[in-house]
Amino acid sequence: MRIGNCSGFYGDRLAAMREMLTGGELDFLTGDYLAELTMLILGRDRMKDPARGYAKTFLRQLEDCLGLAQDKGVRIVANAGGLNPAGLATAIRELTSKLGLDVNVAHVEGDDLLPRAADLGLGAPLTANAYLGAWGIVDCLNNGAEVVVTGRVTDASVIVGPAAATFGWSPTDYDRLAGAVLAGHVIECGTQATGGNFAFFREVPDLLHPGFPIAEIRDDGSSVITKHDGTGGLVSVDTVTAQLLYEITGARYANPDVTARVDSISLSDDGPDRVLISGPVGEAPPPTLKVSLNAIGGFRNSVTFVLTGLDIEAKAALLQRQLEAAITVRPAELEWTLARTDHVDAETEETASALLHCVARDADPAKVGRAFTAAGIELALASYPGFNVTAPPGDGQVYGVYTAGYVDAAEVPHVAVHADGARVNIPPATETLPLAPAEDPALPEPLPADTLARTRRVPLGLIAGGRSGDKGGSANIGLWVRTDAQWRWLAHTLTVDRLRELLPETADLDVTRHLLPNLRAVNFVIEDILGQGVSYNARFDPQAKGLAEWLRARYLEIPEELIP
Q: Give the whole-angstrom CA distance, residue 215 versus residue 248.
A: 20
Using DSSP's 3-state secondary structure scheme, residue 25 falls into: coil
Using DSSP's 3-state secondary structure scheme, residue 159 falls into: helix
CATH number for position 375? 3.30.70.380
pLDDT at 426: 98
Chain segment 401-413, per-residue pLDDT in tens: 899 999 999 999 9
Task: Give me the mean pLDDT over the 445-462 stretch.
Answer: 97
pLDDT at 514: 97
Is residue 173 domain-resident?
A: yes
pLDDT at 36: 81
Which of 76-90, 100-114, 275-289, 383-397 is least confident?
A: 383-397
For residue 407, give the nearest of 121, 109, 114 by alpha carbon.
121
pLDDT at 538: 67
Chain segment 371-382, per-residue pLDDT in tens: 898 899 999 999
Whether residue 513 sits in one domain with residue 485: yes
Confidence of residue 536 (pLDDT cuts 50, 70, 90): confident
Is residue 38 domain-resident?
A: yes
Is the per-residue pLDDT at 171 higher than 70? yes
The strand pairing partners of 118, in sequence order, are none
Q: Give the whole-angstrom CA distance, residue 537 versus residue 457.
A: 34
Is the per-residue pLDDT at 89 higher than 70? yes
Backbone phi, then psi, for 409, in 5-degree steps?
-60, -30
For a pLDDT cut of 70, what percent of the chain falls above it? Answer: 99
Is residue 538 domain-resident?
A: yes
CA–CA distances in Å: residue 196 to residues 120, 190, 191, 466: 40, 9, 5, 13
Is the per-residue pLDDT at 533 higher than 80? no
Task: Give me the mean pLDDT over the 115-143 stretch.
Answer: 97
For residue 352, give the nearest of 344, 363, 360, 364 by alpha carbon.
344
Which of 251-265, 303-317, 386-400 is least confident?
A: 386-400
CA–CA distances in Å: residue 24 to residues 18, 205, 211, 223, 406: 11, 21, 11, 18, 41
Under 8 Å between Cβ of 14 and 38: no
Chain segment 305-333, per-residue pLDDT in tens: 999 999 999 999 999 999 999 998 899 99
Is residue 442 domain-resident?
A: no
Using DSSP's 3-state secondary structure scheme, residue 114 falls into: helix
Is the per-residue pLDDT at 393 higher than 80? no
Is residue 438 domain-resident?
A: no
pLDDT at 57: 96
Is the per-residue pLDDT at 430 higher than 70? yes
Is the per-residue pLDDT at 504 higher than 90? yes
Task: Give me the mean pLDDT over the 479-497 stretch.
Answer: 98
Whether residue 317 sits in one domain with residue 268: no
Write 450-454 long-range contacts (CB < 8 A, 24+).
451/485, 451/559, 451/561, 452/489, 452/559, 454/559, 454/560, 454/561
Whether residue 187 sits in one domain with residue 57: yes
Q: How far apart are the first and last CA of the chain?
A: 39
Whether residue 305 sits in one domain with residue 276: no
Chain segment 58-72, per-residue pLDDT in tens: 999 999 999 999 999
Neighbours of 417 (CB within 10 A): 23
Task: Give me the mean pLDDT over the 265-286 stretch.
Answer: 98
Whether residue 420 sits in one domain with residue 347: no
Is the per-residue pLDDT at 184 higher than 90? yes
Give CA 105 to chain center in angstroms: 28
Query: Over the chain, what is the mean pLDDT?
Result: 96
Using DSSP's 3-state secondary structure scheme, residue 391 falls into: coil
Confidence of residue 434 (pLDDT cuts 50, 70, 90): very high
The domain tally of the chain equals 3
pLDDT at 497: 98
Confidence of residue 501 (pLDDT cuts 50, 70, 90): very high
Whether residue 456 sits in one domain with residue 322: no
pLDDT at 232: 98
Is residue 544 domain-resident?
A: yes
Whether residue 375 sits in one domain with residue 282: no
Confidence of residue 392 (pLDDT cuts 50, 70, 90): confident
The dihedral sign for the CA sequence 128, 134, 136, 141: positive
Between CA 508 and CA 211, with CA 245 as vertex, the angle to 5 degrees is 135
Whether residue 475 sits in one domain with residue 336: no
Is the per-residue pLDDT at 535 higher than 70? no
Is residue 432 domain-resident?
A: no
Higher pLDDT, 252 or 399: 252
Task: Give me the mean pLDDT over the 210-226 stretch.
Answer: 98
Whether residue 278 sits in one domain with residue 318: no
Whether residue 416 sits in one domain with residue 303: no
pLDDT at 373: 87
Whether residue 55 sits in one domain with residue 171: yes
Is the per-residue pLDDT at 562 higher than 80? yes
Whether residue 357 sits in one domain with residue 283: no
Question: HSE of 524 in the Cβ direction (CA atoms, 13 Å)?
Answer: 28
Tell me the Cα Rg of the chain.
25
Q: Give the whole-angstrom CA distance, residue 299 versus residue 401.
A: 11
Is residue 370 domain-resident?
A: yes
Under 8 Å between Cβ of 489 and 454: no
Give residue 480's domain range: 449-562
pLDDT at 537: 66
